[in-house]
Amino acid sequence: MSLALDSTGTPFVAYSDGANSVKATVQKLVSGSWTVVGTAGFSAGLAFYTSLALDSTGTPFVAYQDNANSNKATVQKLVSGTWTVVGTAGFSAGSAFYTSLALDSTGTPFVAYQDNANSGKATVQKLVSGSWTVVGTAGFSAGQAFHTSLALDSTGTPFVAYSDGNAGGKATVQKLVSGGWTVVGNAGFSAGPADYTSLALDSTGTPFVAYYDGNAGGKATVQKLVSGGWTVVGNAGFSAGPAFYTSLALDSTGTPFVAYSDGNAGGKATVQKYS
């Protein structure tokens, strides 16, 4: 599942819909009730790793791994109440895992993913004049990139966090600098393996990453970049038990909130914020 809010605070959720042959569905809250946006199960086939973003007008875009197109990446958006493919369906060179979508200030979509056509390394593409174009170099990570998470700063510069197969599964962040991908701080900055990496940027462009911390029994940890180095926010492993599917968001003051499936509470949802 992937959550986004429009400018009025209305929540939208995209997900792989078991009631519709595991195709993609989006719903939003209307007058206190959840309502399907467009058509339920709008993808051509099974849709995995759904990632949702809204443009400045509130138009939803969804990226996903498209089983109907050899598990390559596809993006659709809502146009006059109908879900429409953006550019070309199955635009990635090979199968795409951990698809993560972000829109810049002009509404241009960017998608990061683990690129099976490039040895499972990270690739980012964006839409240019109706066609999907690689940003920088395809397969830019040193090794396989798991749990890719994409964010754009206020200038539209993409940052990607991932679990770095070249660093024992520890967390790494890279950003685009002068057309090339550059490691932010140091590669493999987490103390141990980092799964479910989730990236967010504050208003100054400072990156924060939340993750399932293999060095802390799978509990949640958040780090941010300070003076070029990665620093733990609060305490490492702050959750009571293992934190699966960590998802990070920052409020307007830069306060981090982390949602996760709480292994200390039978897998139920828990949210914590830093105070």
Q: Judge contact between 159 and 207, C-beta under 8 A.
A: yes
pLDDT in tens, 67-118: 999 999 999 999 999 999 999 999 999 999 999 999 999 999 999 999 999 9
Total domains in the chain come to: 1
Q: What is the pLDDT of residue 64?
A: 99
Q: pLDDT tens-digit profile of 7-56?
A: 999 999 999 999 999 999 999 999 999 999 999 999 999 999 999 999 99
- The CATH code of the domain that includes 153 is 2.120.10.10
| Residue pLDDT, tens place only, 172-221 | 999 999 999 999 999 999 999 999 999 999 999 999 999 999 999 999 99
pLDDT tens digits for range 143-163: 999 999 999 999 999 999 999
Domain range holding 157?
Answer: 2-273
- Residue 178 has a pLDDT of 97
pLDDT-derived band of residue 239, with 50, 70 and 90 as boundaries? very high
The predicted structure's pLDDT at residue 82: 98
Q: What is the mean pLDDT of residues 53-65?
A: 98
